Amino acid sequence: MNKTIKGKAFVVGNDIDTDQIIPAEHLVYSLDDPEERRFYGRYSLSGVPEKESGLPHGGIPFTAPDKFRSEFKVIIGGKNFGCGSSREHAPFSIQEAGAEAVVATGYARIFYRNAVDGGFIIPYESHDDLVENISTGDEVEIDGELNIIKNLTTGKSYPLKKLGDVIEIVEAGGIFKYAAKHGMI
Amino acid sequence: MSMTLTEKILAKASGRTHVDAGETVWVNVDILMTHDVCGPPTIGIFKREFGEDARVWDKNKVVIIPDHYIFTNDKYANRNIDILRAFAADQDLPHYYDVGTERYKGVCHVAMPEEGFTRPGDVLFGTDSHTCTAGAFGQFATGIGNTDAGFILGTGKLWVKVPETMKFIFEGEIPPYIMAKDLILQIIGDIGVDGATYRAMEFAGDGVMRMDMEGRMTLTNMVIEGGGKNGVIEPDEVTFDYVRQRTDYDFTPLYNDPNPKYHSVRRYKSADLQPMVAKPHSPDNKATVTEVRGTRLTRAYIGSCTGGKITDFEAAAKIIKGHQVGVETYVVPATTLVREQLKTTYFDGETLWNIFEQAGAHMGEASCAACLGGPSDTFGRLQSEEICISTTNRNFPGRMGSKKAQVYLASPYTVAASAITGKITDPREYLPVEQDISAGGTP
């Protein structure tokens, strides 16, 4: 995966479910309409309880009030990121806010699949729990070729797991592009 | 080599004689189900990728059941129904259940069996995580996103990774004060909300096989709360009777081979089971009712795909009859059929509807309603610091509408007993001596 993602990190904890990523009341906007879809960026991760939003201290919204884009490029999470519903609006909202990757110790299956098949964000898995090692606002860089994430603020690097089975779909940019490339559609 | 039931369904659907857990295979889809929240974006993706004039791969295999945001003034939510209606008309889809007509059903996961779409041996994908409910019928059924659903709409195919199976066996008769919800809350508490990630969860043993279809559906409904990909129960005569009464479709049931390879097998003695709750804010935050007895509540809620079936209301009515509720109590039938059954099912000489109404409960229309919060005018939605006990399936922060609220998940028995006292209450304090309930019978 020949891609580098660099920017500020936003840190949350374990079991961030899809209601926290995009609360159900916001699932009504069009995902196609350029004006309306921006609201998914505004409300992305708005369901995370305040004290757990932007660790270690909390109290930091992923997208600032009244903005549509987030200043954060990479989300750092713990285990079981994206558990709960099958709403594809969840990875979509993170992409719409401007982030490009999530790094977590594990994912709920449907969220992972949606992130990959929709080509929204890259769901990296880390060996170590980075929630303890990266603070919200730290500058990080993901090297997709070497499979490492560097915390440029502290100077430390952490290994990421290889993308495995799904790498071809990630590299193609989603399931439709993958299928087209292989003559399936 | 022997295969599990899930492996056998996926082998058949991929045209193979054998598959192993961990393999990725492309399967042919028997049914694709969608609803008002994920249907419109799925349709958008389908048109973007296959063209404005593209036709769905098989109109008889597409089922559209609006159920999430129905009784609301939210203009965007109402527009989503318009999009479904136009698509169904344009594609001439026979299985569309339009809002505001006699065909309207309500919660898709309960309507799917009612309409005969949950067929043993088949493959069902749905744009909702609780699609796994249909595994109770020996079907492979799992939730997917809009992109995958758009792909299926055009091709009738999807890739899946064959899951390993975790088996949960309940030995012996289930005690009369225990419901299927207690079993699944116990399991999720034991394995955690990611305990079955990427895996199938199979339920077995005489404790399970003595359950009716609705009890079995309560088990498979919540496998997603353990992270599971699908839940499954081997079909039997109970399954076949239910399905054959609702469809002429010629299904081929599949079963586990002798001694297949399981990821793990857990055994429970049914007699040891206790009434359970999941405390805020996670379905795996388990406690016995005894441990949290007396916890103050401000609301009770009986409804949803997992706790709004007719047998759930029969159970709740058994406890509530002759009492007044002590907290705001909301009764939300899953489907229009369940709502009708509330008026034709009697307990101790009274309809279930009258029992709840006379107890002071608020009676709702069939839909997902406040189970997932929804638009601000949703019936029963938690708006602030409520402490709610609910028969629904999720209690993550904000799930029922407010981040400030606390939600306890429990069985219809436990919710009903707690509604009366306004505190978490053991249903054994209220359960009458066993009496027969007869659907459609005279008082």
Which of B211, B245, B268 terminates a domain? The answer is B268
Q: Which residues of B touch A28 (CB under 8 A)?
A: 37, 69, 74, 76-77, 79-80, 375
Q: Are residues B87 and B109 in the same domain?
A: yes
Within a domain: B362: yes
Q: What's the CA gap between B440 and B46, in Å, rounded?
A: 44
Q: What's the CA gap between A149 and A103, in Å, rounded?
A: 9
Question: Looking at residues B86-108, what average pLDDT do you find?
Answer: 98
Q: Are residues B77 and B176 in the same domain?
A: yes
Q: Which of B147, B157, B379 would best serve as a mutation to test chain A binding (most A beta carbons within 10 A)?
A: B147
Q: Are residues B261 and B386 in the same domain?
A: no
Tens digits of residue pLDDT in B18-38: 999 999 999 999 999 999 999
A7: Cβ contacts below 8 Å, ≥ 6 apart? A72, A73, A74, A100, A139, A140
State residue A1's pLDDT score. 79
State residue B67's pLDDT score. 98
Within a domain: B363: yes
Q: For chain A, what is the radius of gyration of the CA atoms?
A: 15
Question: Looking at residues B289-302, what average pLDDT do you find?
Answer: 98
Q: What is the ipTM of this complex?
A: 0.96
Q: Which residues of A touch B224 (CB under 8 A)?
A: 84, 110
The amino acid that residue B12 corresponds to is: K
Question: Looking at residues B406-418, what average pLDDT do you find?
Answer: 98
Within a domain: B226: yes
State residue A101's pLDDT score. 98
Tens digits of residue pLDDT in A73-84: 999 999 999 999
Tens digits of residue pLDDT in B416-435: 999 999 999 999 999 966 54
Q: What's the CA gap between B173 and B307, in Å, rounded?
A: 22
Question: Looking at residues B219-235, what average pLDDT do you find?
Answer: 98
State residue A165's pLDDT score. 85
Query: What mean pLDDT is reported for chain B?
Result: 96
State residue B440's pLDDT score. 44
Nearest by CB: B151 against A28, A110, A176: A176
Q: What's the CA gap between A42 and B166, in Å, rounded?
A: 40
Q: What's the CA gap between B299 and B231, in Å, rounded?
A: 31
Question: Looking at residues A51-71, what average pLDDT do you find?
Answer: 98
Q: Are residues B216 and B309 in the same domain?
A: no
Please report, for the domain that includes residue A106, its CATH number: 3.20.19.10
Q: Using alpha carbons only, what angle is made at residue B186 by residues B180 and B191, rounded to the nearest 5 degrees?
A: 130
Question: Looking at residues B37-57, what average pLDDT do you find?
Answer: 98
Q: Are residues B262 and B352 in the same domain?
A: no
Decide if B396 and A84 are in contact by the 8 Å CB cutoff: yes
Nearest by CB: B76 against A20, A29, A175: A29
Q: Are residues B156 and B299 in the same domain?
A: no
pLDDT at B296 over 50: yes
Q: Which residues of B touch A40 (CB under 8 A)?
A: none
Tens digits of residue pLDDT in A96-134: 999 999 999 999 999 999 999 999 999 999 999 999 999
Which of B268, B302, B335 terminates a domain? The answer is B268
Question: Are the C-beta atoms of A91 and A121 separated by less than 8 Å?
Answer: yes
Q: Are residues B88 and B174 in the same domain?
A: yes
- The upper half-sphere exposure of residue B320, i.e. CA atoms within 13 Å in the direction of its Cβ, equals 36
Question: Looking at residues B103-127, what average pLDDT do you find?
Answer: 98
Q: What's the CA gap between B261 and B164, in Å, rounded?
A: 8
Distance from CA of B399 to the nearest CA of A (A): 6
Residue A49: strand pairing partners:
none
pLDDT at B438 over 60: no
Task: Check the CA dihedral B65-B67-B69-B73 and report its sign.
Answer: positive
Q: Report phi then psi at B60, rounded to 5.
A: -80, -10
Q: Are residues B240 and B285 in the same domain?
A: no
Q: Report phi then psi at B184, rounded to 5.
A: -75, -35
Distance from CA of A15 to the nearest CA of B (A): 8
Per residue, what are the HEC states of chain B? CCCCHHHHHHHHHCCCCCCCCCCEEEEECCEEEECCCCHHHHHHHHHHHHCCCCCCCCHHHEEECCCCCCCCCCHHHHHHHHHHHHHHHHHCCCCECCCCCCCCCECHHHHHHHCCCCCCCCEEEECCHHHHHHHHHCCEEEECCHHHHHHHHHHCEEEEECCCEEEEEEECCCCCCCCHHHHHHHHHHHHCCCCCCCCEEEEECHHHHCCCHHHHHHHHHHHHHHCCCEEECCCCHHHHHHHHCCCCCCCCCCCCCCCCCCCEEEEEEHHHCCCEEECCCCCCCEEEHHHHCCCECCEEEEEHHHHCCHHHHHHHHHHHCCCCCCCEEEEECCEHHHHHHHHHEEECCEEHHHHHHHHCCEECCCCCHHHHCCCCCCCCCCCCCCEEEECCCCCCCCCCCCCCCEEEEECHHHHHHHHHHCECCCHHHCCCCCCCCEECCCC
Please report, for the domain that includes residue B405, its CATH number: 3.30.499.10
Distance from CA of A176 to the nearest CA of B (A): 7
Question: Are the C-beta atoms of B285 and B314 separated by less than 8 Å?
Answer: no
Question: Looking at residues A79-93, what average pLDDT do you find?
Answer: 98
| Domain total of chain A | 1
Q: What's the CA gap between A77 and B148, in Å, rounded?
A: 25
Which residue from A minimizes the CA distance to B222? A84
State residue B434's pLDDT score. 56
Residue B295 in tokens = 């916890």
Instruction: Give the closest residue to A112 by CA, choosing from A144, A88, A76, A147.
Output: A88
Residue B177 in tokens = 């004060």
Per residue, what are the HEC states of A128-170? CCHHHCCCCCCEEEEECCCCEEEECCCCEEEEECCCHHHHHHH
Q: What's the CA gap between A85 and A181, in Å, rounded?
A: 30
Nearest by CB: B129 against A84, A107, A176: A84
Q: What's the CA gap between B254 and B161, in Å, rounded?
A: 19
Nearest by CB: A106 against B79, B80, B197: B197
Percent of chain B surpassing pLDDT 90: 97
pLDDT at B439 over 50: no
pLDDT at B443 over 90: no
Question: Are the C-beta atoms of B347 and B146 separated by less than 8 Å?
Answer: no
State residue B433's pLDDT score. 61
B166 is in which domain, residue-wise? Answer: 5-268
pLDDT at B442 over 50: no
Which of B268, B294, B311 terminates a domain? The answer is B268
Q: Are residues B240 and B363 in the same domain?
A: no
Question: Look-up: residue for tokens 């749905």?
Answer: B126
Q: Are residues B253 and B306 in the same domain?
A: no
pLDDT band, residue B196 (cuts 50/70/90): very high
Instruction: Give the closest residue to A61 by CA, choosing from A153, A51, B403.
Output: A51
Check residues B139 and B432 and name the one with the higher pLDDT: B139
Q: Which residues of A touch B84 (CB under 8 A)?
A: none
Tens digits of residue pLDDT in A30-59: 999 999 999 999 999 999 999 999 999 999
A145 is in which domain, residue-wise? Answer: 4-181
| Domain total of chain B | 2
Torsion angle in degrees (nearest 10) through CA of B280, B284, B289, B295: -10
Within a domain: B442: no
Q: Are residues B209 and B128 in the same domain?
A: yes
Within a domain: B439: no
Question: Are the C-beta atoms of A142 and A158 separated by less than 8 Å?
Answer: no
Q: Are residues B350 and B374 in the same domain?
A: yes
**Interface residues of chain A, partner chain B, Cβ below 8 Å:** 15, 17, 19-20, 23-25, 27-32, 36, 47-49, 79-80, 83-89, 106-110, 113-114, 117-118, 165, 174-176, 179, 184-185
